[in-house]
């Protein structure tokens, strides 16, 4: 079970699938923007005044209000009229139940009679049901009440049951939304709360809610604790849950375990650098964001409401690369799911549900529902004409597999047999070769990879035109693959793929350099995109960063390309994707030319590629420049300009409006963005330079020259590495000496230490 809640407890919950099994309803893109939510109302039963612990939805002028979002919990706290109240929301690790741990204290000097109400609005589970065809969906849900439990049943769905209960015996309830809210009222002034009396409603059909009322009397200074529980299941489940979580000591224990869960993840990599905001980000929020992405595959947030689910091939492939140290199991699962979504031709299906290709999937449905989860004929989504194929999707998976192996040491993954989406099977290793072969075949007139439907940039639609970025990516993927081929002693493949790499490099060299920087691509009619002669779309981030990361660019060209990125794309909020923005539609280039200037793919500060520039600068050894770029995008650094940013300063956003837009600096779409994982990956592995190899831990930092030292604690394959990097001479890159437990080691790689051991590593730059 998952919940997405904001700073006023607005949001929604779902069980396993945000598309097909939503628990509570959300009105996306609504006014106000966060209704409904998971609310607690309080009412003074003497005066009739009422308010909400999370400020909204009543919006009463509270004397004090805070919301704290922690790792997998949110805590709302308010003071109003002499009552201090807190609502802490979290889901324990082991049960599909959302708990609201509510505490009230009478801070006034007289006895107080209060009513406490819960409120959630149930959803019709399937996001489409919830928004259309009400002649059907309005009649498929029913509520009932039994012994302190509101039960909700989605009649059309095989496993469509939820309950809402509490640690106390309620004094009233409503399970019908419109009875609780009342005619021409809304969540801000529900009649149930206004009148202080719930009507005991429930029915088969209609719109449902879970409102439980508890009447309490609090003496001055007296405190009370109430636990509300919203869970998945039927009455039996509800009874068990109620028994278990009415014990507040157990609730506390569950909350501690949730803390331990995150603590364990965070402890695998902790940093202490002179950059405080970098520390906060890497040690807490950046990892959290990266984990959230691999879990949700970027489909559940306020923005990505959850109506599109499954796996986006390229997004999930990249996310899998970024957190193998904190979530190896999830990364592995995603890698296998994506390999199953690969065709024999070697491309990935751009968007699919992993269940479609899961050979172990067993249907255990008690009855056949007329709708709900649509069945897909896999043949229909695999076309021979490559119309829907993106040129980059599967390439991202190759390095993710290699990173996973370096992290875990699980070389045998390469021999695991996995099915192909269109039939047949092959080892993971073979899947990798097919990915590389596909890109080698899909080249255009000049030998550069075709752009197909799109490359990483969804709005660059070159068709048979060519994408510089994809050729660089192809080169990078081949290099990654060669590392495992060499370790596996595959002599023939080593030869073959070295030749392939050389061919790609030669084509890139011959076709893509424009004198100062690399072009972005070539249209189907042979026009170059992103040249010095262009008035718009002149310099692009994707091709220039990837030319360097891949290793195709030599030092001179690499430096010139990245200088151009700095000159044309840098802003105080991060690097723009391209500049100047396109203003003239050009369908040979693609939809990007029809996006408003300064927005999204057309000249915004698109966050995801920013870390590519950090890696590129780190490869070039320019730590001052890399940190300048890092600091510009770092959300924590934008805390003091939040009125401009308009987004939380602890989450990377998909994009920030670029220079060519009137709202320059305004951030949009927090959390669900590849910039989370990439920022973490780039900062830890390339700026701080701590990255696992097959049998050693490399420490090769690229830092600002004014850093005197920094520390990293890294857990890797069961051992702990306490690393101190000293920089007495103010360098930006280059390790001059390294000791492990006082013994000198050649190079910059710490040999793998025995599991269970702790070692002290001192690196001098
Ligand atoms: C969105 C998509 C991602 C794409 C990016 C740039 O973030 O999820 O796949 O690479 O936009 O177009």
Is the confidence at residue 372, as pLDDT, over 70? Answer: no
Cα separation, 470 vs 347, in Å, equals: 13
- 8-state DSSP, 596: P
What is the Å distance from ligand 1's center to 456 Cα?
6
Please state the rounded mean pLDDT for residues 247-270: 98
Ligand 1 atom at minimal distance to the Cα of residue 674: 7
Could you report the per-residue pLDDT of 654-668, keeping only the tens digit for each?
A: 999 999 999 999 999
Contact criterion met (CB below 8 Å) for 699 and 713:
no
Cα separation, 433 vs 473, in Å, equals: 15
Q: How far is CA 591 from CA 203, 246, 453, 596, in A?
A: 49, 55, 11, 10
Question: What does the pLDDT read at residue 210?
Answer: 98
Give the residue, by CA position, lying nearest to ligand 1 atom 3: 315
Candidates 301, 390, 608: which one to mutate for ligand 1, based on the most atoms within 8 Å of Cβ? Answer: 608
**Structure tokens given for 406:** 């370096």
Lowest mean pLDDT among 206-215, 241-250, 360-369, 379-388: 360-369
Q: What is the mean pLDDT of the chain?
A: 96
Lowest mean pLDDT among 156-160, 208-212, 366-370: 366-370
Torsion of CA 307, 310, 314, 317, to 10 degrees: 130
Which is more confidently placed, 95 or 360? 95
Could you report the per-residue pLDDT of 716-744, keeping only the tens digit for each?
A: 999 999 999 999 999 999 999 999 999 99
In the structure, what pLDDT confidence band is assigned to residue 156 with cuts at 50, 70 and 90? confident
Could you report the per-residue pLDDT of 549-607, keeping only the tens digit for each?
A: 999 999 999 999 999 999 999 999 999 999 999 999 999 999 999 999 999 999 999 99
Question: What does the pLDDT read at residue 426?
Answer: 98
E strands present in 204-345? 208-218, 223-232, 269-272, 311-312
Contact residues for 276 (Cβ-Cβ < 8 A; gap 6+): none
Could you report the per-residue pLDDT of 287-307, keeping only the tens digit for each?
A: 999 999 999 988 999 988 998
What is the Å distance from ligand 1's center to 276 Cα?
30
Give the residue, by CA position, lying nearest to ligand 1 atom 8: 315
Lowest mean pLDDT among 60-64, 109-113, 371-375, 706-710: 371-375
Ligand 1 atom at minimal distance to the Cα of residue 298: 8
Please state the rounded mean pLDDT for residues 427-452: 98
What is the Å distance from ligand 1's center to 141 Cα?
37
Cα separation, 721 vs 718, in Å, equals: 10
Contact criterion met (CB below 8 Å) for 629 and 572:
no
Could you report the per-residue pLDDT of 461-475, keeping only the tens digit for each?
A: 999 999 999 999 999
Starting at the edge strand found earlier in the chain, the sheet holding 208-218 runs 50-52, 39-44, 112-119, 208-218, 172-176
Q: Are strands 758-764 and 719-726 parallel, antiparallel or unpaired?
A: parallel
Candidates 313, 674, 675, 678: which one to mutate for ligand 1, based on the most atoms within 8 Å of Cβ? Answer: 674
Ligand 1 atom at minimal distance to the Cα of residue 315: 9
Question: What does the pLDDT read at residue 382?
Answer: 85
Contact criterion met (CB below 8 Å) for 521 and 530:
yes
Ligand 1, residues at Cβ distance < 6 Å: 312, 314-315, 456-458, 601, 654
Ligand 1 atom at minimal distance to the Cα of residue 458: 12
Give the residue, by CA position, lying nearest to ligand 1 atom 7: 673
Pick from 544, 556, 682, 670: nearest CA to 611: 682
- Report the percentage of the chain scoring pLDDT > 90: 93
Candidates 458, 591, 677: which one to mutate for ligand 1, based on the most atoms within 8 Å of Cβ? Answer: 458
By annotation, the residues acting in catalysis are 458
What is the Å distance from ligand 1's center to 178 Cα?
40
Question: What does the pLDDT read at residue 342?
Answer: 98
Question: What does the pLDDT read at residue 379?
Answer: 79
Is the confidence at residue 374, as pLDDT, over 80? Answer: no
What is the Å distance from ligand 1's center to 314 Cα?
8
Is the confidence at residue 384, as pLDDT, over 80? Answer: no
In angstroms and rounded to an integer, the radius of gyration of the C-alpha atoms of the chain is 28
In the structure, what pLDDT confidence band is assigned to residue 381 with cuts at 50, 70 and 90? confident
Please state the rounded mean pLDDT for residues 265-294: 97
Please state the rounded mean pLDDT for residues 31-41: 96
Contact criterion met (CB below 8 Å) for 455 and 471:
no
Candidates 299, 311, 315: which one to mutate for ligand 1, based on the most atoms within 8 Å of Cβ? Answer: 315
Please state the rounded mean pLDDT for residues 344-373: 83
Pick from 443, 484, 460: nearest CA to 694: 484
Ligand 1 atom at minimal distance to the Cα of residue 456: 10
What is the Å distance from ligand 1's center to 219 Cα?
56
What is the Å distance from ligand 1's center to 602 Cα?
12
Give the residue, by CA position, lying nearest to ligand 1 atom 6: 457
């Amino acid at each position: 079970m998952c919940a997405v809640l904001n700073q006023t407890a607005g949001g929604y919950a779902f069980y396993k699938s945000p598309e097909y099994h939503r628990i509570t309803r959300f009105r996306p893109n609504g006014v106000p923007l966060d209704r409904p939510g998971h609310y607690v109302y309080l009412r003074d039963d003497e005066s009739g005044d009422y308010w909400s612990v999370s400020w909204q939805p009543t919006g009463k002028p509270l004397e004090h209000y805070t919301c704290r979002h922690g790792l997998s919990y949110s805590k709302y706290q308010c003071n109003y009229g002499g009552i201090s109240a807190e609502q802490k929301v979290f889901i324990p690790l082991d049960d599909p139940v959302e708990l609201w741990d509510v505490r009230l204290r009478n801070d006034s000097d007289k006895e107080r009679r209060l009513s406490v109400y819960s409120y959630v609005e149930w959803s019709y589970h399937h996001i489409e049901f919830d928004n259309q065809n009400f002649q059907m969906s309005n009649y498929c849900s029913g509520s009932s009440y039994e012994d302190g439990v509101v039960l909700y049943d989605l009649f059309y769905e095989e496993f469509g049951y939820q309950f809402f209960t509490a640690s106390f015996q309620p004094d009233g309830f409503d399970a019908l939304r419109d009875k609780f809210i009342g005619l021409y009222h809304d969540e801000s002034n529900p009649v149930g709360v206004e009148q202080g009396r719930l009507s005991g409603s429930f029915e088969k059909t209609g719109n449902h809610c879970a409102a439980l009322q508890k009447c309490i009397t609090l003496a001055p200074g007296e405190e009370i604790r109430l636990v509300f529980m919203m869970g998945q299941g039927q009455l039996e489940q509800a009874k068990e849950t109620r028994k278990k979580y009415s014990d507040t000591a157990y609730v506390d224990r569950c909350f501690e375990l949730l803390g331990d869960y995150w603590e364990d993840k965070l402890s695998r990599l902790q940093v202490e650098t002179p950059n405080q905001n970098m520390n906060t980000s890497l040690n807490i929020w950046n990892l959290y964001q990266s984990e959230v992405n691999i879990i949700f595959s970027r489909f559940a947030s306020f923005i990505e409401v959850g109506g599109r689910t499954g796996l986006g091939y390229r997004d999930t492939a990249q996310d899998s690369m970024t957190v193998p140290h904190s979530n190896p199991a999830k990364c592995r699962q995603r890698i296998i799911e994506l390999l199953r979504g690969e065709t024999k031709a070697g491309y990935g299906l751009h968007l699919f549900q992993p269940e479609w290709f899961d050979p172990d999937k067993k249907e255990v449905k008690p009855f056949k529902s007329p709708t709900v989860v649509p069945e897909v004929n896999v043949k229909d989504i695999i076309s021979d004409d490559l119309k829907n194929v993106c040129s980059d999707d599967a390439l991202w998976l190759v390095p993710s597999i290699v990173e996973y192996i370096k992290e875990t040491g699980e070389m045998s993954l390469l021999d695991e047999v996995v099915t192909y989406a269109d039939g047949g099977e092959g080892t993971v290793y073979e899947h990798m070769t097919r990915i590389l072969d596909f890109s080698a075949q899909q080249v255009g007139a000049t030998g550069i990879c075709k752009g197909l439907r799109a490359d990483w940039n969804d709005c660059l639609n070159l068709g048979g035109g060519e994408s510089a970025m994809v050729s660089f990516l192809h080169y990078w993927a081949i290099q990654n693959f060669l590392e495992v081929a060499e370790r596996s002693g595959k002599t023939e493949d080593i030869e073959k793929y070295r030749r392939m790499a050389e061919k790609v490099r030669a084509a890139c060299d011959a076709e893509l350099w424009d004198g100062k920087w690399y072009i972005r691509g070539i249209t189907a009619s042979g026009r170059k995109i992103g040249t010095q002669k262009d008035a718009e779309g002149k310099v692009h981030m994707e091709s220039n960063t990837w030319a360097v990361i891949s290793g195709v660019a030599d030092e001179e060209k690499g430096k010139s390309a990245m200088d151009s990125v700095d000159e044309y794309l840098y802003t105080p909020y991060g690097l723009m994707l391209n500049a100047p923005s396109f203003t003239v539609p050009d369908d040979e280039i693609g939809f990007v030319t029809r996006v408003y200037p300064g927005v999204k793919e057309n000249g915004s500060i698109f966050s995801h590629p920013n870390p590519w520039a950090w890696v590129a600068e780190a490869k070039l050894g320019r730590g001052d420049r890399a940190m300048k770029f890092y600091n510009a995008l770092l959300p924590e650094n934008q805390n003091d300009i939040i009125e401009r940013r308009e987004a939380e300063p602890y989450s990377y956003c998909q994009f920030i409006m670029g220079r060519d837009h009137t709202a320059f600096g305004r951030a949009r779409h927090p959390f669900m963005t590849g910039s989370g994982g990439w920022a973490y990956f780039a900062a830890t592995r390339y700026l701080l330079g701590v990255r696992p190899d097959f049998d050693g831990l490399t420490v090769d930092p690229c830092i600002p020259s004014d850093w005197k030292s920094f520390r990293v604690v890294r857990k890797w394959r069961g051992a702990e590495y306490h690393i101190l990097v000293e920089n007495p001479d103010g360098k930006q890159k280059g390790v001059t000496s390294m000791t492990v437990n006082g013994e000198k080691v050649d190079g910059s790689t710490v040999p793998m230490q025995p599991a269970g051991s702790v070692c002290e590593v001192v690196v001098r730059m």
